[in-house]
Amino acid sequence: MKCRYYFFICHSCYRIVVSYKTRPFPNRLRVTRQNAGFTQLQVARLLGYSNSNALCAWENEHTMPNGTNLIKLCMLYCKTPAELYPEYVAQIDLHLLIL
77: which strand partners? none
pLDDT digits (tens, 9 = 90+) for 2-26: 444 333 343 444 454 555 555 688 9
Nearest by Cα to 64 from 42, 45, 87? 87
- Dist. CA 33–CA 77, nearest whole Å: 7
Cα within 13 Å of Cα(77), Cβ side: 28
Question: What are the structural domain ranges in the chain?
Answer: 25-83
pLDDT in tens, 33-63: 999 999 999 999 999 999 999 999 999 999 9
pTM of this prediction? 0.75
Identify which of 27, 24, 42 has the alpha carbon closest to the alpha carbon of residue 81. Answer: 27
Determine the CATH number of domain 25-83: 1.10.260.40
